[in-house]
Amino acid sequence: MTSIQSTKAIPLLLLKSNVRVVIKKVGISKLNEIRADVQEGHLSKEEVMQELQSKLSQEEITALKVIAYKEMSKGNGTE
């Protein structure tokens, strides 16, 4: 693996690790419920954040926000 490949692999490993933490602490059925409620317009962004904040530590939430920001930046071509 080249240094460029290993640099790109680190965020992917962090993402997978954070996903595991969220699934473990929130639960896959609760995440599915949240997803459905958001898609149907029954939950706001603030309500989702409140739900996650009740289950995750501040550090975990910050890590997820960083990953989300990076993913949004990729989508906008700003990376």
Task: Quote the pTM value.
Answer: 0.64
Confidence label for 37 from pLDDT (cuts 50, 70 and 90): very high
The pLDDT assigned to 5 comes to 43
> Domain locations in the chain?
20-69
Confidence label for 7 from pLDDT (cuts 50, 70 and 90): very low
For 26-64, the three-class secondary structure string (H helix, E strand, C coil) is: HCHHHHHHHHHHHHCCCCCHHHHHHHHHHHCCHHHHHHH
Indicate if the pLDDT at residue 3 is higher than 80: no
DSSP class of residue 79?
-
